[in-house]
Structure 1
Amino acid sequence: MNPYLLIPLSALFLNLLLFIYVIALKGRHRVVSLYLFYSVDLSLWILSIILYWSFLPVEWMGWMMRVTSLTWLLAGTLFLEFIFEFLSKNPNLLLYFFRGLSLAVFPIALTTNWIVAGAEQKYWGYAISPGHLYVVSLNLFVIAPSVYAMALLLYESRNREPRFRNQCYLLFFGTLSSTILGFLTTILPRMQFQGDIHFPPLSGSATVLQSVCIFLAIAKYGFLEIRLEKIALQLYSKLREGVVLLSRTGELLYWNQSGKEMLGIYGTQPEKLDLSDYLENFPPEPFSRMDFKVKSIPSGPTESKEGKILSASPNRFLEVSRSEIQLSGRDKGNVFILRDITDKKEASEKISVLYSRVVKDLDIAREVQNTITTREFPHSSKFRIFSYFRPYDHVGGDVLNCSESQDGKIEVLFADVSGHGISSAMVAAMASIAFSVVSRRGTRPKEGLLFTNDLLTSVVTQHFISAVYLKYDPVSRVLDYSYAGHHTALLLRNGEVRELQGKGSVLLGIGSPILEDYDVTLRPGDRLLLYSDGLFEVRGSKGIPMGNSTLVEAVRKLAFQDSENLIRSLVSYSESFGDGVMTDDLTLFCLEIRE
């Protein structure tokens, strides 16, 4: 075996490894496709060198060298094409020049001796016997596009972010190294020794240096967005929300399992996906976020005309968010995030019915008030709950809803609707219904408050809600909580009183509320006190309101009392300050930790 064959064989092996690696990790995008075309051309170029150095019959070599000249005539143009797309640059006259000329020159190379004059045998194999345009062609179609591409990489990377700049530098270094090595071993000797060469040319095999740098760029900096896209797809696959990624032409690039189930699609992935086939009244024009009903299939699983397997879907509603994203280069697509809002729709319908009935009849409002305010609390040796509720009028806008989950955790919604009377009671009833839905879903306090806000935003326009959402685990004694514009709860521990820190925006205000989750570990003997603002908004004889700070000082003085007497004393203190005149609903809640 010719030992010199190890050079192009090694280069071909490494180029093919990188080619397979890119195909395995990347989807169908124009930048990657152009790189793969360039990589295929390089591999064919190196393969032709292997054939040259295999000492095949000499009568084959002349035509073989003319035919395979297309590989190196196109190499520089394909690489420049890839660089333009990678840098998101529009084609210019120079790129069009290289495109047209490289294709026009190939017939000349194939039919004349101007570029490839024949084959001559060397000790490493056969080499091209150059025509008078051979060196000019190498410089014009291999060296010149590479130099121009390297200049673009340096120029375009100046003001880019560091990760992209490092990618450009690695690609530049690999291209520079392979270009210099190819020039020194192939073109320069032809120019110095009247077209003859005395050692193996490495113009094709040298591209392996570029391939090594491209691999490093992928591994370290996510070149071609391969590594980042792989991570993104892994994250998408674990989302409970459905994710559907489509190209501008409707080509299905990716979807996760949740997306398939929400749309009711099973079986193999189709080439294209039209969401209007599965969602009622899906608009052809772009949108940001809309709600849709999933189309029902009348019988069991069936097969559509495109061969897609459809399942029978229940009465299901989806919230669809659409965003345009940059896929690669100048290619754009749309990512659709699907959320199942069937519970939200059902609860909204119940709220609408409830709202109309309560407006008409105050007696029904009283019944609703009784249903939204928890009167009987869970019993446990680990904790005890005390409460006090008194509406300003026949009904009020305070919400105290407490439930116990199957795993023994306690969830509490303590809320205060702005205003008082029948309209506030209606909103309070709706918030209580929303809490009932949230508590069954097992969400975090912040998520529960956001769900309540989203559910009521389209229905309630004249009120806002301040709230505290608590979730207590008696086993670990960890209290998770979130505030939505409500004043802080009080923690009574060892005779001392401190505020349970945290903050958040009110619900149903302007825009989406900004909320946070907090947690604290309670101890045996701790007491957590919640109260509505009706307790401290009473006014004294001179019209001056009590204020929250005055009430907190009163709690500190009364903290030695047991929980039941403490609540009674605070109510008496408030009534005494206001001369018995109430200005709002009055609600108190105390969670006492026993063990």
Structure 2
Amino acid sequence: MNPYLIVPLFALFINLWLFTYVLALKGKHRVVHLYLMYSGALSLWIISIILYWSFLPPHWMTWIFKISSISWLLVGPLFLEFVFAFLSKNPNIVLYLLRGLALAIFPITLTTDWIIAGVERKYWGDMLIQGPLYVYGINILIVSPPIYAIFLLIFESRKEEIGFRKQCYLLAFGTFLTSVLGFLTTVLPRILSQGDLHYPPLSGSASVIQSACIFIAIAKYGFLEIRLEKIALQLYAKLREGVILLSASDDLLYWNESARDMLGFPKIAATPEKLDLGKFLEGFTRRPFSRMEFKKRSSEIHPITSEEEAILPSTESVYLEVSKSEIPISGRDLGKVYVLRDITERKEASERINMLYSRVIRDLDIAREVQNTITTRDFPNSNEFKIFSYFRPYDRVGGDVLNCSESSDGKIDILFADVSGHGISSAMVAAMASISFNVFSRKGTKPKEGLLFTNDLLSSVVTQHFISAMYLRYDPDTKVLEYSYAGHHAGLLLRNGETIDLQGKGGVLLAVGTPILEDFQIQLRPGDRVLLYSDGLFEVRGSKGIPMGNATLVEAVKKLSYQDSDSLIRSLVSYSESFGDGIMTDDLTLFCLEITA
């Protein structure tokens, strides 16, 4: 047997032992995977050296050298990639360049003599005859990566904690010794002797030094320790949430300071062997749960010593949110992890919000009653006309306005309006508009003047809303309907089976200054119906999110106009609800004036 094989065999033994040790930890971290890849490539390189020094048939050796070159071509880039992952650094252009060169040089080695020109037999075994690019390839792929890695390990670890810094220094020291020994026994002699070697090269076997340093880091500083118990406990200790780890029989395996404080356990007291959370939390259950809220039991005050009084928790109510999960401890034994969060402030805030919400709901109910009183539900009775209506707010209160009043001379005034938005603020503006209508409708002037009166009255008070409206005045004696628009969409005239828009337009109220408004009139006939509706009827959205639109609604009115007025209104509401899958987007109001005589 060749005695020189002892060196690579010993190096292979150490490297494989370390490879197996790390593999047995079954770590899933990227650092572990990259280390195993690097260690595997290193083992292949050492096995190649054993083949080189085994005096195999000479005609095999050139191809053995060329094929096995992939191992030492990849060792440098893989080690550098491992160092990048270990330092949590993102790969840079240097690493990408070395990866590409390693993969590009291997096919060149196989197909040309530029890297390996042949084989020469020495007293220790076979040695490759270098090609013109051999020294450059060795320097770039084997020498430069360790040098760059040493620089990164020393430079990047300066601001880290002392344990991690020692790992980096130990790894850098092993890499430095390995690189120096490899350079002095392999690269430098070839440069000085024009490619010849007079002593066995140790570039691959010297990796035993690096392996020994990594092993010391593993044994002494926990480098690549996969279970991470110490690191996990350090993290848990610094968490604001309480962390408790119990065995299946409630043995206390671990808890952090936050957990002790949340449970009100005295700091000077010894840590108990067992922990029953039911003694600290009201209603605590052993049944499976993922997350629950518990009230902390009030601590009893025993005035024994001043020191004990200082550590007793407050008697005020404290609420804790507890998350529970199972965790394997050893073998088939399962433990329980409890994570405690103090939610006292959140609980108190929630109770305040609930109280405020209840108060708001009561106020909304009162506002709804007020709105019902100012929204006309009982219309004038007459043999010459009939009035039908439908009103449903988006919320408890809404921004639609429907008011009707009858003057002493028998004429009726109608305000049909829609305040922008919905909810309390819109309802308040709607109420003010209704009050304005009640004041103005007694004067018996033109519809245009009524809308301008409302605009002037509210413009100095309302700044965040605008009103689209239609003001109508109907004289039953002459059957003349006067009306004025303020930004509202057209009302509809249903006559002899036809659906006709009531012509006219005007500016929105409360939008900009004084709106431009006009008065319009139309002569009605017996059987005519005037239909008004708010935009909540046609702004509903279908299953694909497309709104119905006013044009679609008008087509529906045309198809349903054969029905009596009450049925027509209900059918239109049903059609809108069906189109929007029952989801309203705004207040919903309809009004129909039917001429009977």
Whether the TM-score (by the shorter chain) exceeds 0.5 is no
TM-score by length of 2: 0.44
TM-score by length of 1: 0.44
Work out which of the two has the higher radius of gyration on C-alpha atoms and give 1 or 2: 2
